[in-house]
Structure formats: structure tokens, C-alpha cells
């Protein structure tokens, strides 16, 4: 038996896993999480989507366990995937996401004693539970053999009393050598096969993540078989759109394309808005996605012999954005952006509202003469410029004076970096904006040790409080147990806690649910850092949320 869950309630419906990333992670950490999720999406039919209103979802956070996660879908609300200190590595995050998807550790399979020896005397005290075999009722093999190469397998010295003491070893050689165990590089062939079986992925089709690509029906141009079901999922960078062109179409024609057909849906799954259902021999017009994903589904029900179909797609960056909130990313984010790109976005919100930008991550060429992002306070590049941004320092939040904003990203053909990720939202006119600092000598000296400060910020009735941190540098610790900033959603510390923050990455934009918010700052008597600078505003929002999307 393979170490996949046997409980159907733990499998995520339609393979869709909503997620939230806690605000105490840096932009580079978030990029790693995104890369790990895309790795699973590339090789399976699982889809990770930022949570909107879903009841069950995962939360990337930090727990005392360090690296840990519930196996499969718990249901009934949020569940944690803990990425603690030294866990923020690509392979480790892929491993933890394996638990989320429904995998136990490979070496806990009921048949593991046929494949590995466990040396209990070498296991660290208190870690023995990590080596307990699962019960047969909890694990289903689905016909897959034991996989030494699985990313869900421990290494030979995991939780060892000493670095040279083995906690487990393979019992036998494979191809004349004892197989290595515990790789954290990529999904194994067995991992991929098992996940595709667990989520009943179609046998044909694939996940396409490149900026350009092509695909065709099985057997094209020599005809397709009967009773085929194929799904292609195209996923490009958020902020980009997809242009899909069919280059050949020769399917059995029927009324309303009831039998053989190819369907295009404007999103990430089978219930996304239908762009069109096609059959016969006429080429459809070009299809443009609304967002960064398309779903293409092909079904055949006859033995009619036709060529089938072929299609090409291309990701295009930029365009007009008319939404109250969303995100824009540089092409290919979180991987390096592509050379020789010019992308332009025009963000428009209703009259009376303003456009707000909050940068989550920023990394471009150090010289703004080369790769850069330009932001303008208006609908085009002739408006007043907010500036030209490059380098690795995140720009401060930007708010337009009117109801539009224009962004232009440029890259040359030399050095490429990770790029940027920015959130945009709409807001009503703000009033009473002021600044608050962690200590009186902010900017000249670090904050003093052994400090306890508390601020209560109150707004007029009917208004909320918005916080935007412009500088944030607090002593870092996994649980923020030394120095920290703590926020409470009310007029005192008995109110619901919004979060505790430390480290070098400022929290996201914070909103109160009511008309008051408490900022509490604590420092111990050891390490002192620069401190924080926060701008607070009394604002009446269309929707009041604790943190921005």
C-alpha cells in the first residue's frame, strides 16, 4: 500500500485547494510557496487558488511544530500548513503540500517493513511517533508500489540522535545499489502517478504554464479514438491574459456539438464561465481570457475519423483592469521575468474612489535605466509620475488622486530578476492621515530595550482605521516572542487580536472592523532594531476587512 489517504472526505473536491498566506512571510518566502504550488499543478490536476469565500482552505503560517500539516482536507474551516524556521525551502514546501493534498509519509505505509529497516535506538526522544506505521484502513495503495524516491519519504538520518546514526535504511538494492531516500528536489514519478489517481485526473491533457505553447487532440492529425476525455489547463502569471487560437478543427459535427466537442472555459475549473463549445470543421475566432487561466476540455463519443484539432496560445501582459481589488505580477513571477518585455496596465475604479497599490514583493535590475516599473497618477503615461522603481527595495504604498492609475513595466535583454507582485484595491476619499513611530529617535537610533508602548487609534463613528507600515524592522524570532508589534481590533487589548508581527517584512495593509485599533509594541533587553513607521488613516471603505487581499 502507498501512503495516500483512504478517506474520501479528505480529498479536496475537484482538486481545488483555496489558500491564504499569512502576512508575516516575506515576499521571497511567498514566491517559494507559489513555485511549490505551481510544481504540484504542473504535474497533476490539483489547483491552488487564493481563497475568496470558501469555507475550507489552507493557511500558510508558523506553528511550534515547525514544518507540519494536516493530511488532506479537514473541512469545516481553515487548516494550517506550518512553514517555520528553516522550512522555507522549495522541496520542503512541496513535501508539506503533499500532506495537504492527502499523502502520509511514505515510510509509514503498512507494508514498509518489507522495504526499510527502522533503527529505533537512533531516533531522537519524543520523535518516535514519526516512524509509526499507518493502519491499513487509513492508507490506499491504488496499485502503486513502494517509492524510495518519493518526496514524502524521510532521509536515512531524519530525527537521528547523531548525524552519522541512521534511523532507517532500504532493505535491498535496486539496480545494484542501495537507493537513496529523502530527496527534497521534485516530485517523483510515483508521487505524480499516485496524485493523479487519487484525484482521478484525465488520462490525456496536461497543465501548461509556459508563456507560449501548443496542444492538440490525441492522434492529431491522424484521427482520434472514441470515448476520449482530455483536459488542458493553461495557467500564466496573474495580471497576464491568454490568447488562444485554433490552427486546425476537424471534429464530428452534431446539433449543439452534443457529441464530439472541445469546450473552453474562462477560469481554472469545469464550472468557470463558458467561452464556447466547438465541433465540425470551422475554425473558431481567437479566444481571450479574462484572467490568467483557461480550461479546455475535449470529449469524443464516436468512431468518426477526422483529424481532430490543434491550438496555440500566448500570454499577453498588461491591459485594462476594472475591478475593486486584485493583483498584478510581472511576467513569469515568481520566477525571473522574461527579457524584452513592455507591459502596461490601466487600473480604473468608479468615480469617487481612488486606486491603492500595496507591493508584496519587488526585485528588478539595480539600475532604473534598464529594467524598471513606472507608476503614473492617471490613465496613461502622460499623467503625473509617482516614480520609476527598480532594485530590491519595495516601493511604499501608492494612492491615486483620482479614479485611475497607469503602470508600465520594462525589461531589456540583459539581466533578469524575480520581478514584482502588487495588490490593488479601491477606496473612498481618506481623511485625517497621520504618522506614528516606534520611538522618539526613530531614524537616528534603534528602539530602546525593555520597552512596552501602547497606542489607541480611534476614528469617527462610521469610519474605520487603516494602517500602512512604511518601515518595519523588529528583532526576528519564529513565534515573535522577543520583540514584536501586536494589533487588536478594538479600543483595548481585550479586543480580538489581528496579529503579532516581527522581522524585516512589514505586515500587509491592515483595517479595523470597527472604529478603533490598538497598536502594542514590546521589546526585551537584548537585540534592538530600527523599529517601525506606520501611517494611520480614518477611512470609510466600501468593504472593511482585517487585511487586504
The Cα 190–Cα 250 span in angstroms is: 36
Contact 167/122 with Cβ under 8 angstroms?
Answer: yes
User: Roughly how many angstroms between the first and final C-alpha of the chain, as a whole number?
Assistant: 41
For 211, other C-beta atoms within 10 Å of its C-beta total 18
Strand partners of residue 17: 48
Burial class (CB in 10 A: 0-12, 13-18, 19+), 235: buried
Q: What angle do CA 539, 545, 547 make, to 5 degrees?
A: 100
DSSP code, position 285: P
Indicate the SS3 state at residue 304.
coil
Based on the residue annotation, tell me whether 477 is a catalytic residue of this protein: no
DSSP code, position 367: S
Indicate the SS3 state at residue 272.
coil
Query: Is position 99 annotated in a ligand binding site?
Result: yes
Q: Is 200 left (phi over 0), alpha (psi -120 to 50) or beta?
A: left
Residue of 41, 55, 96, 128 marked catalytic = 96
Alpha-carbon torsion (160, 161, 162, 167), positive or negative: negative
Burial class (CB in 10 A: 0-12, 13-18, 19+), 65: exposed
Residue 259's nearest CA partner among 232, 278, 231, 233 is 278
Q: What is the enclosing helix (H) or strand (E) of 99?
A: helix 90-101
The Cα 418–Cα 413 span in angstroms is: 15
Query: Is position 229 annotated in a ligand binding site?
Result: no
Contact 300/209 with Cβ under 8 angstroms?
Answer: no
Indicate the SS3 state at residue 105.
coil
Q: What angle do CA 419, 188, 93 make, to 5 degrees?
A: 45
Indicate the SS3 state at residue 364.
coil
Contact 451/522 with Cβ under 8 angstroms?
Answer: yes
User: Among all residues, which ones are annotated catalytic?
Assistant: 96
Binding residues for Zn(2+): 95, 99, 105
Amino acid at each position: 500500500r502507498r501512503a495516500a489517504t483512504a478517506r474520501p472526505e479528505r480529498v479536496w473536491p475537484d482538486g481545488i485547494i483555496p489558500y491564504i498566506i499569512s502576512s508575516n512571510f516575506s515576499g521571497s518566502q511567498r514566491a517559494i510557496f507559489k513555485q511549490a504550488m505551481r510544481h504540484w499543478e504542473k504535474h497533476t490536476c490539483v489547483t491552488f487558488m487564493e481563497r475568496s469565500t470558501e469555507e475550507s482552505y489552507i493557511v500558510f503560517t508558523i506553528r511550534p511544530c515547525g514544518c507540519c500539516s494536516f493530511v488532506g482536507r479537514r473541512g469545516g474551516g481553515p487548516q494550517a500548513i506550518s512553514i517555520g524556521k528553516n522550512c522555507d525551502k522549495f522541496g520542503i514546501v512541496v513535501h508539506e503540500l503533499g500532506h495537504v493534498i492527502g499523502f502520509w509519509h511514505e515510510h509509514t505505509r503498512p507494508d514498509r517493513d518489507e522495504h526499510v529497516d527502522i533503527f529505533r535506538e537512533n531516533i531522537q526522544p519524543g520523535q518516535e511517533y514519526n516512524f509509526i506505521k499507518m493502519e491499513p484502513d487509513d492508507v490506499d495503495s491504488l496499485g502503486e508500489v513502494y517509492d524510495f524516491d518519493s518526496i514524502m519519504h524521510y532521509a536515512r538520518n531524519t530525527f537521528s540522535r547523531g548525524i552519522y546514526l541512521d534511523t532507517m535504511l532500504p532493505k535491498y538494492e535496486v539496480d545494484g545499489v542501495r537507493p537513496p531516500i529523502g530527496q527534497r528536489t521534485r516530485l517523483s514519478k510515483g508521487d505524480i502517478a499516485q496524485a493523479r489517481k487519487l484525484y482521478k485526473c484525465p488520462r490525456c491533457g496536461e497543465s501548461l504554464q509556459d508563456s507560449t505553447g501548443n496542444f492538440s487532440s490525441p492522434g492529431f492529425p491522424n484521427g482520434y479514438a472514441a470515448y476520449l476525455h482530455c483536459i488542458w489547463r493553461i495557467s500564466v502569471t496573474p495580471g497576464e491574459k491568454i490568447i488562444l487560437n485554433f490552427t486546425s478543427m476537424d471534429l464530428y459535427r452534431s446539433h449543439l456539438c452534443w457529441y464530439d466537442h472541445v469546450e473552453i472555459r474562462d477560469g481554472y475549473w469545469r464550472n468557470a464561465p463558458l467561452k464556447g463549445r466547438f465541433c465540425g470543421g470551422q475554425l473558431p475566432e481567437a479566444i481571450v481570457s479574462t484572467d490568467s487561466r483557461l480550461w479546455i476540455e475535449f470529449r469524443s463519443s464516436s468512431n468518426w475519423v477526422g483529424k481532430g484539432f490543434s491550438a496555440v496560445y500566448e500570454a499577453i501582459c498588461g491591459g485594462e483592469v476594472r475591478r475593486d481589488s486584485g493583483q498584478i505580477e510581472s511576467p513569469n513571477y515568481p520566477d525571473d521575468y522574461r527579457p524584452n518585455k513592455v507591459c502596461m496596465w490601466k487600473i480604473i475604479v468608479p468615480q469617487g474612489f481612488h486606486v491603492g497599490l500595496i507591493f508584496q514583493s519587488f526585485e528588478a535590475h539595480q539600475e532604473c535605466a534598464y529594467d524598471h516599473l513606472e507608476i503614473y497618477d492617471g490613465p496613461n503615461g502622460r499623467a503625473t509620475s509617482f516614480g520609476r522603481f527598480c532594485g530590491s527595495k519595495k516601493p511604499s504604498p501608492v494612492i491615486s488622486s483620482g479614479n485611475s492609475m497607469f503602470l508600465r513595466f520594462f525589461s531589456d535583454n540583459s539581466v533578469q530578476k524575480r520581478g514584482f507582485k502588487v495588490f490593488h484595491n479601491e477606496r473612498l476619499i481618506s481623511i485625517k492621515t497621520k504618522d506614528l513611530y516606534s520611538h522618539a529617535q526613530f531614524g537616528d537610533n534603534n528602539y530602546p530595550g525593555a520597552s512596552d508602548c501602547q497606542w489607541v487609534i480611534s476614528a469617527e463613528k462610521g469610519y474605520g482605521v487603516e494602517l500602512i507600515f512604511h518601515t518595519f524592522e523588529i528583532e526576528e524570532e519564529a513565534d515573535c516572542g522577543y520583540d514584536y508589534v501586536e494589533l487588536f481590533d478594538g479600543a483595548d487589548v481585550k479586543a480580538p487580536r489581528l496579529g503579532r508581527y516581527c522581522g524585516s517584512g512589514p505586515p500587509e495593509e491592515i483595517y479595523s472592523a470597527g472604529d478603533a485599533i490598538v497598536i502594542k509594541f514590546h521589546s526585551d533587553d537584548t537585540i534592538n532594531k530600527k523599529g517601525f513607521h506606520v501611517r494611520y488613516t480614518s477611512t470609510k471603505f466600501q468593504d472593511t476587512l482585517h487585511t487586504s487581499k
